[in-house]
Structure 1
Amino acid sequence: MILIRVLFICSRNKWRSLTAEKIFEPYSGLQVRSAGTEEGARIKVNAGHIGWAEMIFVMEKKHEQRLHEKFRQEIIGKRLIRLDIPDDYGFMNEELIDILKSRVSDYIELPD
């Protein structure tokens, strides 16, 4: 089975990206991790995360900019996708889950 390595990134890795990791990790065909860009992140994104990932989903433009600033070399050739999901949702919020599934399904085929 071919696995796609997917990384989800938000600011603190507590709500949006962690929710994405939890909802997508059971899907066969995906290996999923999450991280945050801020100093106080639960798991702070590093070059190893970027190197590991084939697809990187960021929640906001500021996350995309931080990756380009901090990991300029590592990001070359990576598929980087901005989901445009604001920091308005708590962990495992139903609306957040619906938005994540809808937007990610534009890039990854998900089962119904």
Structure 2
Amino acid sequence: MSRDQRKLLFVCSRNRLRSPTAEAVLNGVETVTAISAGTNNDAETPLSGDLIIWADIIYVMETAHKKKITRTFGELLKDKPVRNLAIPDNYKFMEPDLVTRIKSKFPEYFS
């Protein structure tokens, strides 16, 4: 991984649809390494402090996710930007409209 590689963490509730789609889409960008996780205990990959420490920027899908990770991992978030992508939970994994919506949130990579 090069020095200018961006490490992006995508968070949704169960880590089954939205955040894994964002991970797949952004991992297609040469200068990005993306990982996804979920805030729920039954998430495919549960969010952990190690993932938060690893990430340069954390992207959540909803305000509720930001509140939950701030409550759980507040100390680790001191110098970490947490951005809300405002993507509702009404998409399937890799659904074309979801892919388009994710790409629209990252014009620096998909112009």
Which TM-score tier does this pair reach, normalised by the shorter chain?
over 0.9
Q: Determine if contact 2:103/2:110 at 8 Å carries over to the other structure.
A: no
Q: Determine if contact 2:38/2:45 at 8 Å carries over to the other structure.
A: yes
What does residue 97 of structure 2 align with? 95
What does residue 28 of structure 2 align with? 26
Overall identity of the aligned pairs, in %? 34
Equivalent residue runs for 1:1-112 within 5 Å? 1=2, 2-105=4-107, 109-112=108-111
1:104 deviates by 2.7
1:65 deviates by 0.3
> What secondary structure sits across from 1:42 in the alignment?
coil
> What secondary structure sits across from 1:9 in the alignment?
strand
Q: Determine if contact 2:9/2:34 at 8 Å carries over to the other structure.
A: yes
1:25 deviates by 0.5
> What secondary structure sits across from 2:89 in the alignment?
coil
RMSD: 0.9
Q: Determine if contact 2:62/2:84 at 8 Å carries over to the other structure.
A: yes
Deviation track 1:2-40 (CA, whole Å, cap 9, x = no partner) reads 101100000000000000011110211111100000010
> What secondary structure sits across from 1:68 in the alignment?
helix
Structure 2: any 5+ residue segments left out of the alignment? none
Structure 1 residues 24 and 74: alpha-carbon distance in aligned structure 2, compared to 1, 3 A threshold: same
Structure 1: any 5+ residue segments left out of the alignment? none
Alignment length, in residue pairs?
Answer: 109
